[in-house]
Amino acid sequence: MQHNCVVVAGGSRARFFTLEAVEYPDMQSGPNLCEVNGLVNVENETHGVDLWSDSKSGRNRGSNGAAHGYDDHRSQHEDEFERRFARDVAREASRLLSQNSTRQLVLVAQKRILGFLRNELDALIKAGVDIKELAKDLSKLSPLELHEHLAREQLLPQRRSPAS
């Protein structure tokens, strides 16, 4: 059976899976989605004053008492945090693919991080890796729930019950 590698990423964490055949198909349900690694986007987990020196109010008072808006470019910094996280996820996905000698990757991520991941996975696409995408954040599902969802989307084979 060809192994599939599955990467499930949200803004703050990524999980890495392989699809493994069961040893005794007559007695076990399978194939099974097995989690092999995970990454956490520390910058995305950190909020407000923990990340920035002050919370963003969006307004400041001038010397004449009039309020005026300002932009401290936090969104640009947040984009860079996501880019770095996507780079780490792509690096780990590449390592997982080579370790399992497979050319198939199922990539499931929320839309925003999926955009950053597409840029980072360009080298894998050029190397002939078959990448199937799903734009959803399923990072909090259990492996069994994730497998069922991906099978319904026809991205993974269905789990089979043991032969009677």
The model's pLDDT over 51-79, given as tens digits with 9 standing for 90+, comes to 545 555 555 555 666 665 555 555 666 67
Q: Is 149 exposed, middle or buried (0-12, 13-18, 19+ CB in 10 A)?
A: middle
To the nearest whole number, what is the mean pLDDT of the chain? 80
**Res 60: pLDDT:** 57
**Res 133: pLDDT:** 94
Domain 5-45+73-152 sits in CATH at 3.30.420.60
Of the candidates 115, 124, 132, the residue with the CA atom closest to the CA atom of residue 93:
124
In angstroms, the CA 35 to CA 29 distance is: 17
User: What does the DSSP 8-state code read for residue 128?
Assistant: T
Give the number of residues written for the chain.
164
pLDDT in tens, the chain (164 residues): 457 899 999 878 999 999 887 777 677 777 888 999 999 987 655 554 455 455 555 555 556 666 655 555 556 666 787 888 999 999 999 999 988 888 899 999 999 899 999 988 888 888 888 999 999 999 899 999 999 999 999 999 888 877 65
Cα 37 to chain centroid, rounded: 12
In angstroms, the CA 59 to CA 71 distance is: 9
**Res 41: pLDDT:** 84
- Confidence (pTM): 0.76
